Structure formats: structure tokens, C-alpha cells
Amino acid sequence: MSDKEGTSNVAKSAAMAEIVVGVIHAKIARQVWEDLCDQFGQKNAPTIFQIQKAIATVSQGTILVASYYIKLKTLWDELELYRSPIVCNQTKEHQIEKEKDKLMQFLLGLNDSFKTIKSNILVMNPLPNVRQAYSLSVQEETQQ
């Protein structure tokens, strides 16, 4: 073990000891969880903000639909890493809402030359998922 690894392990041990002292007298696990969330959960807010900002401002511009979609998908996947897990029986409904959000974000960022396909997608019932909308947009792009 190198000196650097040893120093790192000592720092980790010291940090763990401080965490344990902070929660050792908790009476229930929920209290421990809430305390840890309060102490360490706030640091993600600036990162989440920056990802949301990037999602809100990304647009197709002069790039191909495929490149634009990959940019958005990368941001959505990164944002998902910071999301809290869904509780109860709301998983399916939550997933449907997230898919609609992604579809709308994707359509909002497409160039005006996709106006017709955007309108066609928005009147579909049920709405397609974002992957299907991407596929339709690529087909439209190849015909332009």
C-alpha cells in the first residue's frame, strides 16, 4: 500500500467515525436516514440544477437529429442518477410522466423544419415514446 492510499484510508476512516458519532444515538433507522439525507443530500442540488439547465437549453441547431437525441439522452441518464427511487405503487405512472417529459423536451429542441412531424406526433393517441419520435424525426430528416 502506498502512502497516498494509506492517507486516503485514514481520511475515510475519520470521516466514517464522524458520521457514526452523528447518528449513534438515533432511536430508529428512519431518523438515521433523515439525518444522513439532511447532511449529505444537499450537495447534489447544484449538479441537478446544471443538468436541468442543460436539458432546458439544448436544441438541435445545426447538428443531425441523431446527435441531438444522443445529447438529450445522455443528460436524461445523468439526471436519473440523482433521482430518488420511487416508492409505493406509483412506479408505472411516474415512468409514463417521465416519458412524456422527455418527448416534449425532444420536440421542443427540434428545428422549425420539423414543424409538421412535431404536430403529427403531438396529435397521436396514445403519444409515442421519445424513441419512436426520434425514429420518425430521423425518417423526416432523410427525406428533407
Evaluate whether residue 124 is within a structural domain: yes
CA distance 53 to 9: 36
Q: What's the structural domain count of the chain?
A: 2
CA distance 102 to 3: 47
Look up the domain containing 138 and give its range: 58-143
Q: Both 21 and 88 in a single domain? A: no
> What phi, psi does 34 have (nearest 5°)?
-65, -40
Indicate whether this model's pTM tops 0.85.
no
**Of 62, 98, 55, 123, nearest in space to 136 by CA:** 123
pLDDT along the chain (144 residues), means of 10: 55 62 68 71 73 93 96 93 74 84 93 92 92 95 89
Q: Both 83 and 16 in a single domain? A: no
Q: Both 62 and 113 in a single domain? A: yes
Q: What angle do CA 143, 56, 53 make, to 5 degrees?
A: 145
Q: Both 80 and 31 in a single domain? A: no
